[in-house]
Amino acid sequence: MIKPHAASELKPLFVYDTERHHALNSEAETLPSLLVSSAAAANAVMLGAGYFTPLTGYMNLKDSLAVAESLHTSDGLFWPVPIVNMVSDVSAIGDSKRIALRDPNVEGHPVLAVMDVDAIEEVSVEQINFMAENIFGTLDPAHPGVAAFVSQGNLILSGSIQVLNFSYFQTDFPDTFRTAVEIRNEMAERGWNKVVAFQTRNPMHRAHEELCRMAQEDLGSDGILIHMLLGQLKPGDIPANVRDDCIRKMVEIYFPANTVMITGYGFDMLYAGPREAVLHAVFRQNCGCTHFIVGRDHAGVGDYYGGFDAQTIFDEKVPEGALEIEIYRADHTAYSKKLDKVIMMKDAPDHEKDDFILLSGTKVREMLGNGIAPPPEFSRPECAQILMDYYQSIDG
């Protein structure tokens, strides 16, 4: 396994020591508290789980602007996306320097973390727009990531945090949610050294399955980390528990034993395309993965990004040596009727469009909602059944 990003070992901010954890929980109940945004809560979970090593907490305005502009903090740490706690009102905490952060996504808003506040800074509309445009490549309010980012508030709280729980992720997804610490430990137990990671916020179709298989074979990796996002998504995306069921069924039937780890992480989808692809690479390096699959329109939404912008950013914006993890560049994959298998479309210059089985997401959702399974070349029948049951349950 490779070293974590910019550190010799992982730096999870979760308080693992039982005595200290209990003491902090008790202290937190006496502290002024702040209900944070879902995005800030997800950042706390990722910091707690070691995914955001070597960060020690939320960034200040100077670092946030620097990261948005140049993918580096003001002191030179390579980082692709500002990790912030932005709010609209701090009247509840006054001038307190130590506060409790409360979870917006769990009933009763339990304490998520204790924060030592270094600064509370006002962010101008121009600065918010500058960050949003650099992160997302657009200021279009219809972009779900832009809409979420600009609506958090104009006050940025910076400082270190100590994390006390992993929000709803550990309770709702006990078999899937894993910290970077746990993933590294399991890889070591399995004897895996070379590991390729696959990111997903969707159920995996045949093309995704074969892409993982291609990458493993091409790289000679010991295993595949299927790492699914478990946090907030835009309306219309398939819930994490349904995706989890599909992926587990696919791996159980179609992959050899001890070649795949199915895990998930507690983060909200940014839909930031190229910038998010780099963030994905950073925290997969922190998991111990040596390679990361970046496919067509990785982490994209709508038509905001070019098909391969998430690959070219690694050439144009990631300095040599900034990351140890290597990128496995994937083209659009589809089932070839000529060759009777899934291939990367770039590897078939003799093919016409009609030689592939290509279905739009809209068409697939329509079929599933009507109880019609997509062709087996597109989706494994066992996975299609899970999705049909889901779509029919929401339509009914």
CATH code of the domain containing 248? 3.40.50.620
For residue 234, the model assigns a pLDDT of 85
Same domain assignment for residues 184 and 265: yes
Each residue of 145-154: pLDDT tens digit?
Answer: 999 999 999 9
For residue 362, the model assigns a pLDDT of 74
> Does the active-site annotation cover 202?
yes
Q: Kindly state whether residue 1 falls inside one of the protein's structural domains.
A: no
For residue 1, the model assigns a pLDDT of 82
Same domain assignment for residues 349 and 233: yes
For residue 233, the model assigns a pLDDT of 87
For residue 358, the model assigns a pLDDT of 86
For residue 396, the model assigns a pLDDT of 57
Q: Kindly state whether residue 126 falls inside one of the protein's structural domains.
A: yes
Same domain assignment for residues 117 and 241: no
> Domain limits at 81?
18-170
From 112, 139, 170, the end of a domain falls on 170
Same domain assignment for residues 44 and 83: yes
For residue 155, the model assigns a pLDDT of 98
For residue 58, the model assigns a pLDDT of 99
Same domain assignment for residues 339 and 274: yes
- CATH code where residue 83 lies: 3.10.400.10
- pTM across the whole model: 0.96
Same domain assignment for residues 211 and 342: yes
Which residue numbers in the chain have pLDDT < 50?
A: none
Pairing of strands 86-87, 155-163: antiparallel
Catalytic residue among 98, 190, 201, 248: 201
Same domain assignment for residues 75 and 138: yes
Q: Kindly state whether residue 13 falls inside one of the protein's structural domains.
A: no
Q: Kindly state whether residue 12 falls inside one of the protein's structural domains.
A: no
Catalytic residue among 25, 129, 193, 202: 202
For residue 298, the model assigns a pLDDT of 93
Same domain assignment for residues 153 and 193: no
Same domain assignment for residues 189 and 131: no
> Does the active-site annotation cover 193?
no
How many structural domains comprise the chain?
Answer: 2
For residue 125, the model assigns a pLDDT of 98
Q: Three-class SS string for the chain?
A: CCCCCCCCCCCCCECCCHHHHHHHHHHHCCCCEEECCHHHHHHHHHHHCCCCCCCCEECCHHHHHHHHHHCECCCCCECCCCCCCEECCCCCCCCCCEEEEECCCCCCCCEEEEEEEEEEEECCHHHHHHHHHHHHCCCCCCCHHHHHHHCCCCEEEEEEEEECCCCCHHHHCCCCECCHHHHHHHHHHHCCCCEEEEEECCCCCHHHHHHHHHHHHHHCCCEEEEEEECCCCCCCCCCHHHHHHHHHHHHHHHCCCCCEEEEEECCCCCCCCHHHHHHHHHHHHHHCCCEEEECCCCCCCCCCCCCCHHHHHHHHCCCCCCCCCEEEECCCEEEECCCCEEEEHHHCCCCCHHHEECCCHHHHHHHHHCCCCCCCCCCCHHHHHHHHHHHHHHHC
